[in-house]
Structure 1
Amino acid sequence: MAGWTCELELDEARETVAGSAAALGAAIGRGADLRVGTVFRFDEHIDTSSANAERVREIMDFRVVYLMEERWVAGIQNLRMPVSFEQGFGPRASMSFFLYNQDGHQAIARPFLDGQRAAGEPGPSAVKSHADMPKYRQLDSWDADTNAPSSNFIYEFDSFRFLVCDQWQQVYAHDADGATTEGSLDALAAAAVEGREVKVAIAGFCDDLAAAGEALAHEVFAHGGSCYYFTESRIFITAAQPLIRVRPGIPLRYESRGWDFGWIKPQSDGIVHRWLVDPYTLKFHRSRSRHAMRWFVGK
């Protein structure tokens, strides 16, 4: 699909210089894909000991997108590993679950995958000074001595450009019990059989990560992988791409025991089968929940 447009641009101070947060939120609500473009100097952001002062333009693909209260957008990179521009990849096998909010607040969770024994327990950790990176401001640190450290921060990129590909069509929606609220299940099934991409927005998917009575209204947008339509029982299923679940908030942020990741199987009867990973132990847990969902297909 083509047709990428910049719906919101921020400057180094994270002030809006073009577009609007409202336009970005509206596009995401229509199922649009999200990428974020930034600009930085290599010797300021990547290697502060380097003499290379050239500017680097980065484009990041966010395959997991959150829409909070129908107005606040945050994206998470679900397939990224730590990158080294000299060695290829970072020193330890891990994931880099970078998280970007629409106001430039950023975060990272890094589950280590190499099986090393953790040296500590989950909880608040010391915030480092990062004096050699004056544009980097670490806001907090969590679980530093575990196998799932995370932190929230702001890096003052030269600019932030929130790009969307608004080439999706909502064709079906249902409540948590699978009762149709809009559109046609037949249209969803027919589009998938034709080879069109499928995406699903799951309402309240991370409610169980919030404290009782504190859940924030939200949808999580996930890309479908393999799709199945049962022609007699009339149930549509997709095995979605892996995603990261985060306790809903504005801005979206990581903290101890406030996130996990894994694989899901959403169904048009309202059921989501979950095979989630405890990031501290890498143990898998099976569960299921019910949610209202909206289904999109690529145009």
Structure 2
Amino acid sequence: MPDQWVLSLEQNSETEVIKGSIVETADAVRRGADLRLFLIAKDYEETLYFQQTYAGEQDAFAGLMTHHHSYAHRGSLAEQPYFSFFKYDACGTFSQVKWMLDNQRFDESQAYPYGIYLWYVCDRWRVVYEHDAEGNCVAGDLDELKEHIRAGRSIKVGVRQLFGIQDDDLSGPEHISFLDIMQPLIKDGHVGANCDFILAGAPKWPFTWENALSLGMVWPWSSGEMIAHLTEPGHLPFRRTTVRRAMQWLVADT
């Protein structure tokens, strides 16, 4: 079944591959598959749901948690909740930035000795429409995409060269980042989307939040235009910018 979660990659505490393939997992993420990660920590077990994914060349992939809200800080309960922005990949070191409500920022990135890494994918998405940065059709049918929106189907958008958007920098390695959509819409002949929070790092691989991190609220359009409000955690206010990017628009086959 296309909506089943499948174990794609198992790694031990040394991130050695026990089962599956890093390359095949990256291929699935590159197709727009949903991604989850089960971990065994010292005192608990957890599964991470990623709201955003990154797929680069060959075996490069990562899962991003874009609006994780936390209550504990450095061993004790915090007086106020706060945002945590995570990046996990198959290398064994995770990136985490905490953004407190008083605008303080803490970089908590580290190599943590998890007992196991189980990467699951749900390969249920199909590309309906693809266009270049100028909005020219590359593949698919824009009218079909509109009909899926009218039918209430789940839609996802993949934005090429998202990392580097802070400075409209296209110089990094080729990659695509898939974003969750809260509100697809049709206007002036095009499809647009109000997306969940997004994270954009430096245009490089591998990357960490030490290299760069921007939190964004973005509105991609099938015209190739993407309106973005971006800020670096700890450095308000948001800054508005407009860029052009090639995109894929996907529908869930469930």
Q: Would the aligned equivalents of 1:215 and 1:248 in 2 still touch at CA under 8 Å?
A: yes
**Aligned-residue offset at 1:214:** 4.8
**Aligned-residue offset at 1:95:** 0.8
Q: Does 1:30 align with 2:31?
A: yes
Q: Secondary structure at the match of 1:71?
A: coil
Q: 1:74 to 1:269 in 2, by over 3 A?
A: same
| Aligned-CA RMSD value | 2.3
Which residue number in structure 1 is paired with residue 47 of structure 2?
59
Q: Would the aligned equivalents of 2:10 and 2:19 in 1 still touch at CA under 8 Å?
A: yes
Distance 1:78 1:151 in 2: 15
**Aligned-residue offset at 1:109:** 1.0
Q: Does 1:173 align with 2:130?
A: yes
Q: Does 1:253 align with 2:208?
A: yes
Distance 1:38 1:93 in 2: 23
Distance 1:212 1:293 in 2: 16
Amino acid at match of 1:197: S
Q: Would the aligned equivalents of 1:29 and 1:70 in 2 still touch at CA under 8 Å?
A: no
**Aligned-residue offset at 1:151:** 4.3
Amino acid at match of 2:140: G
Q: Does 1:201 align with 2:155?
A: no
Equivalences for residues 1-299 of structure 1 within 5 A: 2-42=3-43, 56-69=44-57, 71-84=59-72, 90-115=78-103, 147-209=104-166, 214-230=171-187, 233-255=188-210, 258-299=212-253
Distance 2:138 2:39 in 1: 39
Distance 2:22 2:5 in 1: 16
**Aligned-residue offset at 1:211:** 11
> Which of the two has greater strand per residue?
2
TM-score with structure 1 setting the length: 0.78
Q: Deviations over 1:195-231 (max 9, x none)?
A: 111111101122345897852222111011111113x
Q: Would the aligned equivalents of 1:97 and 1:109 in 2 still touch at CA under 8 Å?
A: yes
- Aligned-pair identity in percent equals 25
Rg: which structure is higher? 1
- Which moves more between the two structures, 94-103 or 158-167? 94-103
Amino acid at match of 1:110: K
**Aligned-residue offset at 1:72:** 0.6
Which portions of structure 1, spanning 4 or more consecutive aligned residues, are displaced by more than 6 angstroms? 210-213
Amino acid at match of 1:164: V
Distance 1:15 1:190 in 2: 45
The number of aligned residues is 251
Q: Secondary structure at the match of 1:90?
A: strand
Distance 2:167 2:232 in 1: 16
Q: Would the aligned equivalents of 2:64 and 2:88 in 1 still touch at CA under 8 Å?
A: yes
- Which moves more between the two structures, 18-27 or 106-115? 106-115
**Aligned-residue offset at 1:275:** 1.1
Q: 1:211 to 1:269 in 2, by over 3 A?
A: closer
Any stretches of 5+ residues in structure 1 without a counterpart? 43-55, 116-146
Q: 1:72 to 1:290 in 2, by over 3 A?
A: same
Amino acid at match of 1:223: D
TM-score with structure 2 setting the length: 0.91
- Which moves more between the two structures, 7-16 or 206-215? 206-215
Distance 1:212 1:174 in 2: 19
Q: Would the aligned equivalents of 1:37 and 1:161 in 2 still touch at CA under 8 Å?
A: yes
Distance 2:170 2:132 in 1: 21
Q: Would the aligned equivalents of 1:94 and 1:114 in 2 still touch at CA under 8 Å?
A: no
Q: Would the aligned equivalents of 2:71 and 2:81 in 1 still touch at CA under 8 Å?
A: no
Distance 1:88 1:193 in 2: 47
Q: Would the aligned equivalents of 2:125 and 2:251 in 1 still touch at CA under 8 Å?
A: yes
Q: Deviations over 1:238-279 (max 9, x none)?
A: 1011111111333221116x1110210000000000011232
